[in-house]
Amino acid sequence: MDVIAVSSLTKRYDDVLAVDAISFAAPAGATIGLLGGNGAGKTTTIAMMLGLLVPTAGTIHILGYDMARDRFAALARMNFSSPYIALPHRLTVAENLRVYGHLYNVPGLERRILELAAELDLEALLDRPAGQLSAGQKTRVALAKALINRP
């Protein structure tokens, strides 16, 4: 079974065609990438897949759920990381992960934070404000945030 199935996905803003009937699928365990120049529709496609934008046409099925009808069932099992979204700078790494863990209602949250910290070499950073991290450290924290709910 494909965990992602996108068919004839289209997004139009008045006279601007942002996404033009794209289709793709990804089986379990696959890694896929959306490639294209500026304005190619990559971010718009991801926003539609996350249920943040409503497609003009086409269908999106994720984890067997139709995102037009049952997106909340799929969203609980998904997560997303973007280099364009900064973590709150005043919160520590642990506090940031707690916020996202609470949003996803992660069971055993403190244990999960420690697991991710060990896996991503964040243990020494847990009490440091996110605003004081290097770019590489921020990337690892963003990855921990995206993995907090075991998507």
CA–CA separation, 42 and 135 (whole Å):
23
The side-by-side arrangement of strands in the sheet containing 65-66 is 16-27, 2-13, 57-62, 65-66
Domain ranges of the chain: 2-75, 93-147
Please, which pLDDT band fits residue 80 given cuts at 50, 70 and 90? confident
| Domain 2-75 annotated CATH 3.40.50.300 | yes
18-65 pLDDT, tens per residue? Answer: 999 999 999 998 888 899 999 999 999 999 999 889 999 999 999 999
Q: What is the pTM of this model?
A: 0.74
Residue 87 has pLDDT above 90, yes or no: no
- pLDDT of 134: 94
